[in-house]
């Protein structure tokens, strides 16, 4: 039933071979990284438990291919199975005065100017990470023009538990926005100190719970909100969103300069509305110029995390209150956004890896 070779594979041999497989991103063996859990060998199957540093690890498929190539000649007729799990580690320092002590990774989605689709990217990156299996929160820091309630399709009012607000739960995300507290038609005519106070309360007085990632959708520009966050919390990294035209790219430079001055690492650039594919002719059209973000990123020594196409499905999904990564996960736009999320999470996992000592060794069960 299981082939000619039904002899039970030698667990010690399997373990030794597995431990020597290298992750291409970290250039270290998965044995040394401590990613191997249990190795179960019985009369019919071989199961390997692998714990990745994030459920969005980019090299998961590469690792599985390598492990299959190594193990298949050794397991004979036994069924080969992989059980994947993940444990996200903290990539940012914490202190006794930390406003967000239960958040492991704090990520800013920012732009130098409005209208580039930053909130759309932030919402979809958050939803993509949650879809991968991470615990994710999304904080709308745009007090004057909140977008998250519309994009996530809810106008619920947050409950109060004790002295803290309970975030809204939607599509696997924990959400907070001024749009959940005030009426949609109300104008927030606030001076800087009131804005800063509201933002501080959204960090300090919201019961976020244990989060792998908190995405903060920043308002455009380089003003009070940006300075408040830089001075109040330790940020894991910032992502700059732009469109290809020069006027938007010039603001990316200013955004990067601001993060440099406030000691916030910039993880990379996302070029939104990068191109449009005609539905009738399948031709690619660069409506807002071409390659601008890539050239600028190279000049600033930053990676381009993704080029998201101009896609009507993104607008339709956002207006319906459900991110395109959930409504059309196999579309070109959704795949680009999933890739952005995976790159962000993988980059932070690499940083966390350097801060965390990992055990080695594979537990064998027969």
Is residue 78 located within the same domain as residue 109? no
Shared domain for 227 and 262, answered yes or no, is: yes
360 located within any domain: yes
Nearest CA to 144 among 206, 205, 191? 191
The pLDDT value recorded for residue 189 is: 64
Q: How far apart are the C-alpha atoms of 290 and 157, rounded to whole Å?
A: 42
Residue 164 resides in a domain: yes
Same domain, 161 and 79: no
Residue 66 lies in a domain: yes
Residue 1 has pLDDT above 60, yes or no: no
Amino acid 60: pLDDT: 94
CATH of residue 172: 3.40.50.300
How far apart are alpha carbons 361 and 99 in whole angstroms?
37
Closest among 186, 133, 115, 199 to 155, alpha carbons compared: 186
pLDDT band at 63 (very low <50, low <70, confident <90, very high): very high
pLDDT band, very low/low/confident/very high, at 231 (cuts 50, 70, 90) = confident
Residues 115 and 71 in one domain: no
| Model confidence band, residue 3 (pLDDT cutoffs 50, 70, 90) | very low
Any domain includes 92: no
* Higher-pLDDT residue of 4, 172: 172
The answer to whether residue 166 is domain-embedded is yes
Torsion angle of C-alpha atoms 56, 61, 66, 70, degrees rounded to 10: 100
CA 291 from centroid of its chain's CA atoms:
24
- Name the pLDDT band for 156 (thresholds 50, 70, 90): very high
Instruction: Write out the two tokens for 333.
Output: 């736009």
Q: Are residues 71 and 118 in the same domain?
A: no
- Residues 248 and 295 reside in one and the same domain: yes
Q: Specify if 6 maps to a domain.
A: no
- State the Cα–Cα distance between residues 325 and 113, nearest whole angstrom: 24
Report CA-CA distances (Å) from 264 to 16, 53, 104, 235, 323.
41, 22, 16, 6, 28
Q: Is the pLDDT of residue 232 over 50?
A: yes
pTM for this structure? 0.90
Q: Given the DSSP bridges, would you call strands 237-242 and 266-271 parallel, antiparallel or unpaired?
A: parallel
- Tell whether 141 and 215 lie within a shared domain: yes
Indicate the range of 11-25, 156-170, 239-253, 320-334 predicted with least confidence.
Answer: 239-253
* Residue 317 lies in domain: 103-329
- What total number of domains does the chain contain? 2
Least Cα distance to 121 among 328, 363, 350, 306 occurs for: 306
Contact 336, 12 (CB under 8 A): no
Q: Is residue 265 part of a domain?
A: yes
Q: Is residue 347 part of a domain?
A: no
**Shared-domain flag, residues 48 and 138:** no
What is the distance between the alpha carbons of residues 203 and 117, in angstroms, rounded to a whole number? Answer: 24
Asked whether residue 109 falls in the same domain as residue 74, the answer is no
3-state DSSP call for residue 240?
strand
Q: Is 212 helix (H, G, I), strand (E, B) or coil?
A: strand
- What is the percent of the chain with per-residue pLDDT over 90, rounded to a whole number? 53
| pLDDT for the residue 344 | 97
Same domain for 131 and 20, yes or no, is no
Mean pLDDT to the nearest integer, 267-272: 92
Mean pLDDT value across the chain:
86
Q: Inform me whether the pLDDT recorded for 322 exceeds 50.
A: yes
Are residue 18 and residue 128 in the same domain, yes or no?
Answer: no
Q: Are residues 166 and 250 in the same domain?
A: yes
Least confident of 123-127, 162-166, 169-173: 162-166
Supply the DSSP symbol for 206: B
CATH classification at residue 20: 3.30.300.130
């Amino acid at each position: 039933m299981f082939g000619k070779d039904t002899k039970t594979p030698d667990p010690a041999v399997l373990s030794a071979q597995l431990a020597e497989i290298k992750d291409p991103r970290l250039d270290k063996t998965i044995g040394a990284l401590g990613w191997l859990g249990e190795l179960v060998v019985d009369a019919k199957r071989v199961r390997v438990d692998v714990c990745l540093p994030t459920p969005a690890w980019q090299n998961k498929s590469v690792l599985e291919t390598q492990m299959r190539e190594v193990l298949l000649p050794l397991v004979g007729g036994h069924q080969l199975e992989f059980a994947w799990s993940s444990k996200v580690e903290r990539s940012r320092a914490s202190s006794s005065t930390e406003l967000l002590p239960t958040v492991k990774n704090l990520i800013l989605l920012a732009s130098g100017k409005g209208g580039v689709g930053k909130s759309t990217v932030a919402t979809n990156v958050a939803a993509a990470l949650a879809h991968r299996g991470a615990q994710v929160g999304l904080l709308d820091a745009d007090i004057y023009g909140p977008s998250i309630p519309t994009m996530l399709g809810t106008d619920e009012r947050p409950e109060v538990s004790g002295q803290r607000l309970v975030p809204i739960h939607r599509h696997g995300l924990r959400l907070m926005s001024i749009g959940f507290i005030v009426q949609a038609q109300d104008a927030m005519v606030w001076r800087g100190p009131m804005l800063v106070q509201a933002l501080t309360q959204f960090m300090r007085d919201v019961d976020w719970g244990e989060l792998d990632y908190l995405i903060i959708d920043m308002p455009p520009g380089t003003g009070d909100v940006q300075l408040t966050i830089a001075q109040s919390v330790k940020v894991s990294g910032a992502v700059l969103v732009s469109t290809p035209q020069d006027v938007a790219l010039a603001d990316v430079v200013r955004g990067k300069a601001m993060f440099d001055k406030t000691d916030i690492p910039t993880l990379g650039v996302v070029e939104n509305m990068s191109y449009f594919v005609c539905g009738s002719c399948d031709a690619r059209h660069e409506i807002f110029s071409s390659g601008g973000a890539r050239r600028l990123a190279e000049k600033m020594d930053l990676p381009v995390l993704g080029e998201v196409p101009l896609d009507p499905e993104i607008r339709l999904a956002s207006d319906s209150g459900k991110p395109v990564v959930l409504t059309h996960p196999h579309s070109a736009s959704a795949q680009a956004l999933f890739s952005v999320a995976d790159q962000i999470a993988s980059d932070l996992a690499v940083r966390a890896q350097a801060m965390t000592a990992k055990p080695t060794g594979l537990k064998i069960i027969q």
